[in-house]
Chains A and B, each alone.
Chain A
Amino acid sequence: EDQVTQSPEALRLQEGESSSLNCSYTVSGLRGLFWYRQDPGKGPEFLFTLYSAGEEKEKERLKATLTKKESFLHITAPKPEDSATYLCAVLPGGSNYKLTFGKGTLLTVNP
């Protein structure tokens, strides 16, 4: 059974304090690993897709990396507007569409 575990469940940072969120996964093959951002009352907003170990993607203060067992979302010098829940999802090798999500990490960045 495909599993996605995100840690920590919640993270509080001061503005400018860099950190990383973790997404560990167990899946039969990996067609893709997806990061989403979710603001309160909104649907998940797509950030990145990673396909193979060693791959990295960047967007503003966010950088996502992938190994064979986990993915990290690095947040450099975060701002209060980066506060959100960050969700990780995997698309297993045996499916073209069925995402399995983790529970997310609630990030709060204080000014």
Chain B
Amino acid sequence: GAGVSQSPRYKVTKRGQDVALRCDPISGHVSLYWYRQALGQGPEFLTYFNYEAQQDKSGLPNDRFSAERPEGSISTLTIQRTEQRDSAMYRCASSLGQGGNQPQHFGDGTRLSIL
């Protein structure tokens, strides 16, 4: 079956521009997560949605970062006024629900490069 789909796969933009990254979770998965992964590191938690409700945004670095999931399915991570330090791989994951018995399944990510 289809996995977690992220678009675009690569995004290059100039410093100061806004970017929107899209995540289409596995069908039926109510939980959705955004992570950021630096080279040679494991994914780092950014934010979590349960259905359309953003239940935890504690990992978002600052107020330039925001995320939404208005209909409880597709999610968008938006970065305003991008800076070079925002360059990274952004990954989305989804799971059937919360808890240790619901593994998170990851997409192949969006590689963001800020010039």
Residues A91 and B100 in contact in the complex (CB < 8 Å), given A43-B91, A46-B105: yes
Count B-side interface residues using an 8 Å CB cutoff.
26
For residue A99, CB closer than 8 A to chain B, the reply is yes
C-alpha spacing A31/B98, complex, angstroms: 11
User: Are B108's CB and A41's CB within 8 A?
Assistant: yes
For residue B113, CB closer than 8 A to chain A, the reply is no
Mark each residue of chain B from 31 to 53: 1 if its CB lies under 8 Å from any CB of chain A, else 0: 10100000011111100100000
Residues A43 and B109 in contact in the complex (CB < 8 Å), given A97-B56, A101-B43: yes
C-alpha spacing A4/B48, complex, angstroms: 21
For residue B99, CB closer than 8 A to chain A, the reply is yes
For residue A89, CB closer than 8 A to chain B, the reply is yes
Mark each residue of chain A from 85 to 109: 1 if its CB lies under 8 Å from any CB of chain B, else 0: 0010101000011111111100000
User: Are A32's CB and B100's CB within 8 A?
Assistant: yes
Residues of B near A101 (CB, < 8 A) are 41-44
Inter-chain CB contacts under 8 Å: number: 62
**CB-nearest residue of chain B relative to A42?**
B108
A21 → B minimal CB distance (Å):
14
Residues A103 and B101 in contact in the complex (CB < 8 Å), given A41-B108, A43-B109, A44-B106: no
For residue B79, CB closer than 8 A to chain A, the reply is no
Selected contact of A46 from candidates B31, B42, B101, B103, CB within 8 Å: B103
Residues of B near A31 (CB, < 8 A) are 99-100
| 30 pairs from A and B in contact (CB 8 Å cutoff) | A4-B42, A31-B99, A36-B106, A41-B108, A42-B108, A43-B91, A43-B107, A49-B101, A49-B103, A51-B100, A87-B43, A89-B42, A91-B100, A97-B31, A97-B33, A97-B55, A97-B95, A97-B98, A97-B99, A98-B45, A98-B56, A99-B104, A101-B42, A101-B43, A101-B44, A102-B42, A103-B40, A103-B42, A104-B40, A104-B42
Known A43-B109, A97-B56, A97-B99; 12 more pairs at CB < 8 Å: A31-B99, A34-B104, A42-B108, A43-B108, A51-B100, A87-B42, A97-B48, A97-B55, A101-B41, A101-B44, A103-B41, A103-B42
